[in-house]
């Protein structure tokens, strides 16, 4: 039962979300009075609103605590993830503006849908009840379905949207069924109460079955194999600017959901779900890396590589303990930043009628633009886990978590597929530095904010590779 709010001060931990939702509704109304030439105002205000929410969270305004009758919790883990979600979403919006505007796809509702999707993510990572988990998840999912079909005249985008909707509904159904079984076994929707019930009594078959279905739902939302069938088609079919958003920020929200459901609620059953996650990690590493090896389309290559990255993230979760969760959180932050940069490279080189989404489109890039080739090199090296880039430290952290969790075999599998995965990233580097251009290739975008954002995003993967320790320490404090 939700307790009534006695004063506005009790809602202070919810202040960033309140600012975001009030601002989103205000921009929705403002957009009604703007013509196409002034629609950039809505977009810039949306980016500014996200940055304000990030500033409120990072500065601790509102404080931490549990409100709404225990349904919403603001703690360090939620704050870290929300800062990451807000920053990555803001970067995605900056990438989206020139891409969608040039193709005549930008409408005011695009940025509004992104804001409400971010709100859903923030509720998801702060969920302290099964009800709040589902509310946040569905808010994110419904906005994402609409964003994927932004290009309504594209049959590929329409197909991707239908697949995303149908399989997303299936995933939500699995998760909801698992939650209902957990509720039936424990008699509570509160995560802490569920954990206490699981700890106090003998493990029931209904409770374990519910956890199995919840793990399957989590795997669907992550795009982990064998629940990955929607991911390559959606990443490929959606406009690239939208793909950046749905590929980067939701991965942080998915980690938050996994942590709340598996550790906060099903922590006493970790002997069961750790082995399930370890198995999903291996399958994801195998299918993701082998699938990426066969791709010539860069968006599909990155989609399959994201499946392999989910395998590494699950490796950290399977390791268990505070160290495993902090390593997985660090990996999710690294992956979100790297993915935004990787799809951002496609946006920078694309034009109306030319998507720059094939590996051969980057042939001879070093001869045309050594600076941009160097930026793409930073991105691919980080994704491959090459030292000293940020991705190397993230992979090292989850491998260590697997070792400390007594899963040497899983760490060995991770090392093997790290080497295999490096091959398809090296293909892009080889194309830039050693192959001749295939025909006339349009020049990179001249949009200055886009190029600056791309440069900062790519160089951050190198700079943070030398300054990764404070980020890891912040993640460790979240689970101390």
Task: Return the domain boundaries, the chain.
Answer: 13-478
Query: What per-residue confidence (pLDDT) applies to 318?
Result: 92
Q: What is the pLDDT of residues 440-477, one digit of tens each?
A: 666 787 788 899 999 999 999 999 999 999 999 999 99
Sign of the alpha-carbon torsion through 243, 246, 249, 250: negative
Query: What per-residue confidence (pLDDT) applies to 480?
Result: 81
Query: What per-residue confidence (pLDDT) applies to 48?
Result: 95
Query: What per-residue confidence (pLDDT) applies to 437?
Result: 80
Burial 136-157 (b: 16+ CB within 10 A, else e): bbbbbbbbbbbbbbbbeebeeb
Query: What per-residue confidence (pLDDT) applies to 441?
Result: 67
Query: What per-residue confidence (pLDDT) applies to 442?
Result: 66
Query: What per-residue confidence (pLDDT) applies to 54?
Result: 96
Please choose, from the candidates 397, 415, 392, 398, the residue with its C-alpha nearest in 3D space to the C-alpha of residue 464: 392
- CA distances from residue 457 to 205, 390, 417, 450, 463 in whole angstroms, order as listed: 47, 12, 26, 10, 10
Query: What per-residue confidence (pLDDT) applies to 106?
Result: 84
Query: What per-residue confidence (pLDDT) applies to 291?
Result: 94
Question: What is the distance between the alpha carbons of residues 139 and 235, in angstroms, rounded to a whole number?
Answer: 20
Question: What is the distance between the alpha carbons of residues 446 and 432, in angstroms, rounded to a whole number?
Answer: 20
Query: What per-residue confidence (pLDDT) applies to 38?
Result: 84
Q: What is the pLDDT of residues 67-82, one digit of tens each?
A: 988 899 999 999 999 9
Q: Which residue has the tokens 């989850």?
A: 398
Query: What per-residue confidence (pLDDT) applies to 383?
Result: 95
Q: For residue 388, is the peptide bond before it cis, meaning its omega torsion is within 30 degrees of 0?
A: yes
Query: What per-residue confidence (pLDDT) applies to 5?
Result: 57
- CA distances from residue 88 to 64, 120, 257 in whole angstroms, order as listed: 23, 15, 18
Question: What is the distance between the alpha carbons of residues 260 and 257, in angstroms, rounded to a whole number?
Answer: 5
Q: What is the dihedral of CA 218, 219, 221, 222, to 10 degrees?
A: 120
Mean pLDDT by 10 residues, the chain (480 residues): 60 92 94 84 93 95 89 94 96 93 86 95 95 94 93 89 91 92 93 91 85 93 90 93 93 94 90 92 95 93 95 91 93 95 93 86 89 95 94 95 92 94 93 82 79 95 94 92
Give the helix ranges, DSSP H, for 239-354: 240-258, 270-293, 298-319, 321-349
The helix/strand count (H/E) of the chain reads as: 19, 2
Cα–chain-centroid distance for residue 58? 19
Q: Is 228 helix (H, G, I), strand (E, B) or coil?
A: coil
Query: What per-residue confidence (pLDDT) applies to 109?
Result: 87
Question: What is the distance between the alpha carbons of residues 272 and 280, in angstroms, rounded to a whole number?
Answer: 13
Residues 281, 318 contacting (CB under 8 angstroms): yes
Q: What is the DSSP string of 43-89?
A: HHHHHHHHHHHHHHHHTTTT--EEETTTTEEE-HHHHHHHHHHHHHH
Cα–chain-centroid distance for residue 292? 19
Q: How many CB atoms lie within 10 A of CB 344?
A: 28
Three-state SS string over 129-159 comes to EHHHHHHHHHHHHHHHHHHHCCCCCCHHHHH
Question: What is the distance between the alpha carbons of residues 314 and 259, in angstroms, rounded to a whole number?
Answer: 11
Query: What per-residue confidence (pLDDT) applies to 1?
Result: 46
Q: What is the dihedral of CA 418, 285, 239, 390, to 10 degrees?
A: -30
């Amino acid at each position: 039962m939700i307790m009534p709010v006695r004063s506005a001060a009790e809602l202070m931990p919810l202040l960033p979300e309140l600012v975001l939702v009030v601002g989103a509704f205000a921009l929705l109304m403002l957009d009604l009075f703007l013509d196409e030439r002034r629609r950039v105002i809505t977009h810039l205000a949306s980016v500014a609103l996200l940055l304000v929410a990030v500033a409120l969270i990072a500065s601790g305004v509102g404080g931490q605590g549990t409100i709404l009758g225990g349904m919403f919790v603001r703690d360090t883990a939620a704050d870290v993830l929300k800062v990451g979600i807000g920053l990555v979403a803001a970067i995605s919006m900056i990438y989206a503006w020139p891409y969608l505007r040039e193709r005549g796809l930008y409408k005011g509702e695009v940025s509004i849908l992104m804001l409400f999707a971010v709100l859903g993510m923030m509720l998801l990572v702060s969920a302290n009840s099964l009800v709040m988990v589902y509310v946040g998840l569905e808010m994110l999912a419904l906005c994402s379905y609409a964003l994927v079909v932004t290009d309504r005249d594209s049959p590929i985008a329409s197909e991707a949207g239908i697949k995303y909707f149908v399989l997303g509904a299936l995933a939500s159904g699995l998760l909801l069924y698992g939650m209902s079984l957990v509720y039936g076994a424990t008699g509570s929707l509160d995560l802490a109460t569920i954990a206490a019930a699981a700890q106090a009594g003998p493990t029931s078959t209904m409770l374990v079955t519910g956890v199995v279905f919840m793990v399957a739902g989590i795997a669907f939302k992550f795009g982990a194999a064998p629940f990955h069938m929607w991911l390559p088609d959606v990443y490929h079919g959606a406009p690239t600017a939208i793909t950046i958003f749905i590929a980067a920020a939701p991965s942080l929200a998915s980690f938050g959901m996994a942590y709340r459901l598996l550790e906060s609620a099903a922590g006493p059953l970790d002997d069961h779900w750790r082995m399930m996650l370890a198995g999903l990690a291996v399958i994801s590493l195998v299918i993701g890396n082998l699938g990426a090896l066969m791709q010539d389309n860069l968006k599909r290559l990155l989609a399959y590589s994201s499946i392999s990255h989910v395998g590494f993230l699950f490796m950290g979760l399977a390791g268990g303990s505070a160290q495993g969760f902090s390593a997985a959180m660090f990996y999710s932050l690294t992956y979100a930043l790297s993915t935004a940069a990787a799809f951002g490279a496609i946006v920078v080189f694309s034009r109306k009628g030319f998507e720059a989404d094939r590996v051969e489109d980057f042939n001879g890039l070093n001869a045309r633009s050594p600076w941009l080739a160097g930026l793409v090199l930073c991105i691919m090296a980080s994704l491959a886990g090459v030292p000293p880039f940020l991705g190397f430290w993230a992979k090292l952290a989850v491998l260590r978590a697997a070792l400390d969790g007594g899963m040497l075999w899983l760490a060995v599998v991770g090392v093997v597929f790290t080497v295999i995965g490096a091959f398809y990233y090296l293909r892009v580097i080889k194309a830039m530095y050693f192959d001749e251009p295939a025909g006339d290739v349009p020049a990179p975008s001249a949009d200055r904010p886009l190029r600056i954002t791309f440069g900062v995003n790519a160089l951050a993967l190198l700079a943070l590779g030398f300054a990764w320790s404070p980020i890891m320490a912040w993640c460790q404090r979240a689970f101390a």
